[in-house]
């Protein structure tokens, strides 16, 4: 059993903010598995679990607010009798450019309050995490993480969530090191205004069928997350 924890804040006002990208990645995984609407609330978390593509997964979204994420994580680990090696935490990182992915086995919180809470509650920092780049703040860090994505980012957010969901699957199947070897080098396609590749090329625009070729495979284009 693999436990995937996505960090975020509950409440409609936080739903589409940068700080909640961990929840967005888990929602994308649940959508792939057909688990949307099938979860339940327990251990201070929204939890859905099942078998998907040969993987036994527990998807966990703590409902304690970011700064107390560790309380929920401790409860889930205790219920599942799961060792830390079986857990991955997915969170935002404003030290990474928007669209970058970074796996890491263990380490400090790096200024992330959700990770800090988990480390303090467990008394251990030896768990894997997948950091998803949300871009460096051009203003106050708190204002940045609690803001919504910019227009050019929204047009690419769905592709980023697909890549991050692919990364989580790779971790569950092959472990952190192998997943890191592949996805730490991932680069999201340029914004539409900066893209010069023709249709059918990697990172080019979608063809007439709405399908775009990306670095991790062919993707059906979706409307921007959050709309405009």
Strand residue runs (E) in the chain: 2-6, 40-42, 45-52, 55-62, 87-93, 101-105, 128-133, 211-214, 217-220
Sheet with strand 40-42: strands edge to edge: 40-42, 45-52, 55-62, 2-6, 87-93, 128-133, 101-105
Contacts of 15 (CB under 8 A, 6+ apart): 23
Residues 6+ apart with CB under 8 A from 206: 199, 212, 221
Identified catalytic residue from 19, 112, 144, 182: 19
Known active-site residue 19: yes
Q: Which residues are catalytic?
A: 19
């Amino acid at each position: 059993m693999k436990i995937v924890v996505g960090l975020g804040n509950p409440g409609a006002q936080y739903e589409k903010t940068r700080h909640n990208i961990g929840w967005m990645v888990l929602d994308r995984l649940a959508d792939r598995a057909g688990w949307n609407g099938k979860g339940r609330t327990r251990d201070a978390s929204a939890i859905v679990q099942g078998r998907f593509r040969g993987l036994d997964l527990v998807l966990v979204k703590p409902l304690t607010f970011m700064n107390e994420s560790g309380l929920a994580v401790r409860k889930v680990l205790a219920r599942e009798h799961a060792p830390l090696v079986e857990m991955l935490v997915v969170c935002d990182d404003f030290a990474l450019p928007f669209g970058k992915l970074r796996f890491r086995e263990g380490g400090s919180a790096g200024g992330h309050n959700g990770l800090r809470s988990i480390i303090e509650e467990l008394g251990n920092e030896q768990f894997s995490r997948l950091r998803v780049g949300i871009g460096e703040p051009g203003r106050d860090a708190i204002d940045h993480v609690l803001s919504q994505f910019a227009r050019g980012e929204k047009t690419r957010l769905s592709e980023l969530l697909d890549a991050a969901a692919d990364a989580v699957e790779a971790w569950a199947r092959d472990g952190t090191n192998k997943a890191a070897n592949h996805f730490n080098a991932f680069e999201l396609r340029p914004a539409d205004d900066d893209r010069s590749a023709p249709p059918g090329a990697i990172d080019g625009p979608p063809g007439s069928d709405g399908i775009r070729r990306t670095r991790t495979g062919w993707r059906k284009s979706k409307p921007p997350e959050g709309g405009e």
